[in-house]
Amino acid sequence: MILQIRPKYKGTRRRRNGLNRLVLALILLLLASGPPTAIFRPISALAQEPTAEPIIQPAQEPTAEPTTQPAENPTAEPTDQPADAPTAEPPAEPTIEPTTSPTEEPTAAPTTEATTAPTSEPTQEPTSEATSEATSEPIPAPTEEATAEPTSEPIILPATEPTAEPIVSEPAAEVAPQANFVTAAGPASGEWTLPCDSDESAVTIGAFDRDTTADLSNDPGFRFIVNEDVAYQADEGDPPSLNSPRSYSPVMAVGDDTSATICLPEGKYLVSVIGGPFPPTPGGYKMSGKHFSVPDDGTVDVGLVSGPLPLASINVVVHHDNLMVNGAQDIPQEEGLVGFSVLLEDGTGEVSVDFYGNPICTEYDGNGNPISGTGGQCLTDANGEVTVPNLGPGKYGVFVVPPDGQGWIQTSTIEGTHTVDAWVEEGNKGFITEAGVLGPAVAIGFVHECRFGSASDDCPTNDTAGTATIIGRVREASEVGGEFQVEPGKAVDRPYVALNNLSGNDEQVYTGRGNSDGTFEIPNVPPGTYQLVYWDEPQLYIISFATVQVNPGDTEVLMGDLLTPRWFGQIQGYTYIDDGIAKDGHVFSGGAGNGIRDCYDAGGGIDPYNADTCEKGLPNQDLDIRFNDGSIKYASFTDADGYYDFPTHFPYGHYLIWEVGFGRLKQMSTAGYFTEFPGDGLTPIPTGYPYNPENGPAEFGAASLLQAEITLAGFYHWIDTGKAPYGPGENGGISGIVHYAATRNEFNPRLAAAEDYEPGVPNVTINLYEAALDANQQPIPCTVAGPGCPYGAGEYQRVSTATGTDPDSGDLVDSVATDSYIDNHPTDCVYSDLLDGTINDSKCLEVPLNMRQIQDGVFDGGYAFEDTPKGAYIVEMIAPPGYRHIKEEDQNTDQGDDFIPQVPPPACAGPLHIVNDPRNPADGTPTPLCDSKFVRVIDGTNPPAEFYVMTDFDDSDNADFTGTTEVPVPGFIRGTLFDDLNVQFDPNSVMFQGKKGVPFTPVGILDFQGNEITVVNTDADGFFEVLLPSGYTRLCPTPGGICPAIYLVVGNYPGQDPQHPLSNWNPAYATLTVSLDVWTGKTTYADVALTPITGFGFDNPPVCTAAGPDVQSVDTVAGPRGTTFNIYGSGFGATTGSVALGITNQNIISWSDTAITVSIPNSQPRGAQQLLVTDSAENTSQSGITFHVTGQGGGPPYNPPIKHVGAGQTYSTIQAAIDAANNGDLIIVHPGLYFESPIIYKNIKLQG
């Protein structure tokens, strides 16, 4: 008997698409009750009618009422959905009727889930488009993340077990309880409830309307959570660069309009607030928050922005990148390209509809009605532009598809691959100003191939052929030899090469393609100076350049190896059967179970790529790369020989967690290796392979399922992992993850599955009890509270004996806490200091110096009971304070499918509760809570038990269901403020030889309206961290089904009043605003690159002695002989020195250490002269100030017309004074802030 089982149920991850559940319910209703009695409409989030200003609802929750009540309420437990499930219909509100009613026939888009078997629910998903135009499958936008792959694997149950024994069992019959059901209730009284303890302070949380200032604290929709603010702050003595980032912030309190006053101990906090109303309607409020401290803040009021909110757009320009070929748009020379298709993806799949549920790029008339014939494609116009409108806030990948058959080649990328990311907040018009000028959010260039001597290509200046051939090879610039030791690496497969004519107008004169070994030849090149440009087709390498000179008479120009750096790092390796037998039958003595992929030397050294000479590979094994919070970044599978790779590992500079699946075989051990490029240098080979790994095999069993790794661009890591069949009497125990369920799609919480963006929850208590079984070996439902039945009706009974510590709870077999990344952070790292030395870093800091690591580590939320004898168990999850397990009523999105694996997940074993949700087929039916799971452990298997939690809220008065109304947990931003032009040469800095961090500088966090949420400061190395409220929109019509919060992050933030900037605002740098996404419970890593605006760029600031005069300002810079003026600064000394203008000493009236008063003598020459101060010790000021001695008579005259700029002066801007000046004028700019970039185009003097 072959069954498929997956302890983490990754196989049930699905691409959400459209209104399939409603269509299914409608079909079932039609079958059961005849003709429909209501018109089918899109769900409310997709059916809002746009006004002249398109809007987005801040909090879209499903509130649909059923059109009919089923005659017989089905339980939520059977594996098949009942055939009489009711149809859900949206509330009556303005809608956009689809131009064509959604078809009841699902499209033939095949599902990718290998773990799902046919059920009564169709696995073919109906389209989500509101029109019938897109009947064929759309072209998918590529994404780095292969998350749509099946992840389960077959498992053969041992023959010693009876085949009738299922791994997961349901009760044989419906429970007939004789006690009260568990009813919906508010959060249990936590440590935050009144009265306060002696070490706590009372804090009252409030909210107000930012527009009207109306108090919202008494609104029934007012809800909040308070999280401990664990972000590191430089100005509090906790620099982020010297601390590893935390991935989780504990919930400290939850509340609403009836419990707004809470008790908190001393500390830092963030409150996240939603303002309702519920269900969401136009006029609701965008989620927001505020940071506060205890005991400083007794009342915390949070300003909320009222809805409806404006939608966003993305402006895309596609251009002919031929003047010059460089991957950038050269304005105005390069023309736009017409007819190119622009696609968007959200990290999960292609975005095919706008926020109203109509095909993407649908146009609307003045009344908000879709214009027939529009939408479905976003095509560039004659200028190469297209604006994709009506989008929810988020991070989108933009992908451009050229017209078929025209041979266009993409040259542009931002951070690798053909996809360019765009972040848009509410109301974004689709443009950015990062370069200081308004430009499109995305600009992507293309070129055609061109040949010298061809008159038919689109390079008009290359028609004359020459006689020279340029020959070379393109190879990767690899750092695998060591940090900052660049070596030639892999050959770039079939690189593109182009020539720009530097002897002409920098125009493209050649583009062609090289060979698979990276070699290329450019024939028929005329004499001249050219720029050679080379890049790869998938754009995994950074476009690179070299200058080449072709002289008259040259026949060959040899370029040798041309190096190009990768955008990404790579992890590769094998999964194998650790039985000591090679694929070709060779037997390794002592190789069985040693945790090493044994290989033998067949001649020429051990070849790790030769599958025949190594232990047999394991095909179709799933692997992931997770963030430290447990959410998934990448997924992959092994090939027929057990080989896998992650070729586009983004260089985050932070630990990610490599994971191998635990689905069918015994986990043996894992070994990780650094790599090098020996021999011809074309292939990465793991160093010390196979018996001297960088890490492992120290841990055997489940602990070796994970490896913490840092993989920067250009580095290759090799990680092997071994597995073996279970022996007699062996099993893998019970394991799983506690997930934070940001989106809750399933009608039945037993079938919940984690989305890739959903994090784990650390430090959650998991208890294991032996289940009581009846004579048929089935679980026994409890009828009343008592021994083994702590909660009462419906829960599965636990074994309880007199020796148990708590007879009601049952005999506790074991108890564990879910993994915490930060509590198990890697330690004792060794890496290069880049000065031929090493650094022994006990904290394993996540900084640029720490470029590559493979260590033991964990992600948040995982747990395992490893030594578990076969039998039946109850696994109980104790929700941490502020959380609760999810129920049927907590569904918050209607996009996607419920799939039932061939082996269903473990049965929910908690007490019964009455489902109170008219949307749900089980409404009014008693169903078990999922805080406990019933799990059978059979030898030869490793069954899972996953749990899903959400933040708590009080629904005790929710007699008439109005939707789930929890406040989601916040997320982090961890970033670095860089100097984009200068390198850090201080060997004591963690940024050494990288871009210089901008220290002690404010970073502002604003919402889309510019309202200040908070301000944080960078540390000495430019790092910053901030904890922020996440998004609440859960009905985005995107494959992921969620719109994250988008914040404006302002580097070198001057504050809300630029005329009176923050004290540590740095005038030497420009201010840069970028949009960044914040997801529920996750961390966003960000770089904010500032441009220095001083006249000179310094690698390091000038070093001045502390002693000596420092002239900082004067109260005037111009005046005739006899003028008295003051000089201000420091270090002048207590004893009088001298002051000179030019070579003439001035008359000193008074002298102190910080101020000097002088008068200009009558003998002073006229003109512009340098002011210098010399103290009594003969130390002279390092920099002087130009002073203009004016007047006429008694010598040569100097009397330039003076124009003053500043507050209260003739001119308020520098440019206005320049425009009004004549040649020879002097412009004096008085102290102040001037937000302009003046252009001097006259012969004038400009003086500060």
- Give 956-1015 pLDDT, tens digit per residue: 655 555 556 789 999 999 999 999 888 888 888 888 878 899 999 999 999 999 999 999
| Residue 866, helix vs strand vs coil | coil
Instruction: Please answer whether residues 870 and 938 qualify as being in contact, where contact means their C-beta atoms are separated by less than 8 angstroms.
Output: yes
Helix (H, G, I), strand (E, B) or coil at 591: strand
pLDDT at residue 992, rounded to an integer:
83
State the Cα–Cα distance between residues 931 and 758, nearest whole angstrom: 19
Same domain, 621 and 583: yes
Max CA distance (Å), the chain? 123
CA neighbor of 343 nearest in space, from 386, 383, 292: 386
Place of tokens 């059901």: 181
Task: Tell me the C-alpha distance between 252 and 911, whole Å.
Answer: 27
Count of CB atoms within 10 A of residue 281's CB? 16
> Is 80 exceeded by the pLDDT of residue 698?
no
**Which pairing describes strands 299-304 and 200-209: parallel, antiparallel, or unpaired?**
parallel
Asked whether residue 283 is domain-assigned, the answer is yes
Distance CA 199, CA 196 (A): 8
Of 583, 455, 429, 197, the closest CA to residue 1008 belongs to: 429
Residues 206 and 273 in one domain: yes
Q: Quick check: is 554 in a domain? A: yes
CA distances from 43 to 65, 89, 1121 (A): 11, 7, 82
Kind of pairing between the strands at 1118-1120 and 1185-1190: parallel
Which of 304, 331, 358 is the last residue before a domain boundary?
304
| Separation CA 296–CA 468 (nearest Å) | 77
Which two structure tokens, joined as six digits, stand for 606?
Answer: 């051990």
Q: Residue 607 pLDDT more than 90? A: yes
Residue 1154 and residue 1071 share a domain: no
Instruction: Determine contact, residues 847/1085, Cβ cutoff 8 Å.
Output: no
Percent above pLDDT 70 for the chain = 80
Region 455-477: mean pLDDT is: 96
Q: Cα Rg for the chain, rounded, in angstroms? A: 34
Domain extent for 500: 468-565
Residue 953 — very low, low, confident or very high, per pLDDT cuts 50/70/90? confident
Distance of CA 162 to the CA centre of its chain: 47
Burial of 679 (0-12, 13-18, 19+ CB in 10 A): exposed
Helices within 167-299 (DSSP H only):
none
Residues 995 and 1019 in one domain: yes
Task: State whether the Cα torsion 1067-1068-1072-1076 is positive or negative.
Answer: negative
- The type of residue at 1150 is S
Query: Quick one: 381 and 393 in the same domain?
Result: yes
Task: Give 1178's contacts (C-beta < 8 A, 6+ positions apart).
Answer: none
| Residues 632 and 597: beta-carbon distance below 8 Å | no
Total domains in the chain come to 7
Q: Is the pLDDT of residue 641 over 90?
A: yes
pLDDT digits (tens, 9 = 90+) for 1210-1238: 999 999 999 999 999 999 999 888 888 89
Distance (Å, rounded) from C-alpha 633 to C-alpha 647?
Answer: 13
Contact 251, 227 (CB under 8 A): yes
| Burial class for 812, CB neighbours closer than 10 Å (0-12, 13-18, 19+) | middle
Q: What count of other Cβ atoms lies within 10 Å of the Cβ of residue 1240?
A: 13
Domain boundary among 304, 339, 362: 304
What are 361's two structure tokens? Answer: 């790029």
560: in domain: yes
Indicate whether 476 pLDDT > 90.
Answer: yes
**Pick from 358, 422, 416: nearest CA to 387:** 422
Task: Kindly state whether residues 590 and 575 are assigned to the same domain.
Answer: yes
Does residue 670 sit within a domain? yes
The one-letter code for the residue type at 1008 is F
- Angstrom CA distances, 669 to 662, 721, 732, 1209, stand at 12, 6, 14, 76
Answer yes or no: do 574 and 719 share one domain. Answer: yes
- Is 958 within a domain? no
Between the CA of residue 90 and those of 38, 48, 94, 279, what are the distances in Å? 11, 11, 11, 11
Element of type H or E holding 1012 = strand 1012-1017
Q: Report whether pLDDT(278) > 80.
A: no
Per-residue DSSP letter, 1090: E
Give the pTM.
0.81
* Model pLDDT for residues 1120-1161, shown as the tens digit of each residue: 999 999 999 989 999 999 998 887 788 999 999 999 999 999
Examine the pLDDT at 283 and tell me if it is beyond 60: no
Each residue's pLDDT tens digit, 374-401:
999 999 999 999 999 999 999 999 999 9
Q: Are 1114 and 1132 in a shared domain?
A: yes
Question: 352 and 225 share a domain?
Answer: no
What is the pLDDT averaged over residues 508-526? 98
Give the C-alpha separation, 579 to 588, whole Å. 9
Q: Residue 1227 pairs with which residues in a beta bridge?
A: 1203, 1246
Spatial neighbors of 660 by CB under 8 A, at least 6 apart, are 575, 621, 622, 623, 667, 670, 705, 721
Q: Are 580 and 709 contained in the same domain?
A: yes
- Non-local CB neighbours of 969 within 8 Å, separated by 6+ positions: 225, 227, 249, 251, 272, 740, 951, 1030, 1080, 1081
> Does a structural domain hold residue 543?
yes
Helices marked H in 433-511: none
pLDDT band at residue 437, thresholds of 50, 70 and 90?
Answer: low
Judge whether 28 lies within some domain.
Answer: no
Residue pair 582/613 in contact (Cβ under 8 Å)? The answer is yes
- Nearest-CA neighbor of 16 among 390, 286, 270, 351? 351
Indicate the Cα dihedral angle 1024, 1027, 1033, 1036, nearest 10°.
30
DSSP one-letter code for 1033: B
Same-domain check for residues 573 and 720: yes
In which band, very low, low, confident or very high, does the pLDDT at 101 lie, cut at 50, 70 and 90?
A: very low
Query: How far is it, in rounded angstroms, from Cα 350 to Cα 346?
Result: 7
First to last CA, the chain: 86
Q: Over the stretch 1028-1069, which tens digit does the pLDDT of each residue have?
A: 999 888 778 898 888 999 999 999 999 999 888 999 999 889
d(CA 429, CA 375): 19
Q: Are residues 615 and 497 in the same domain?
A: no
Instruction: Look at residue 331 in the predicted model and tell me its pLDDT.
Output: 87
Neighbouring C-beta atoms of residue 558, cutoff 10 Å: 8
Q: Contact at 8 Å (CB) between 562 and 518? A: no
CB 259 within 8 A of CB 862: no
The reported pLDDT for the residue numbered 277 is 63
* Cα separation values, 203 from 192, 253, 263, 391, 952, Å: 10, 11, 6, 38, 19
Domain of 536, CATH number, reads: 2.60.40.10
| Predicted local confidence at residue 978, as pLDDT | 92
Q: What backbone phi and psi angles, to 5 degrees, belong to 431?
A: -120, 160
Map residue 235 onto helix, strand or coil: helix
Q: How far apart are CA 1004 and CA 90, in angstroms?
A: 40
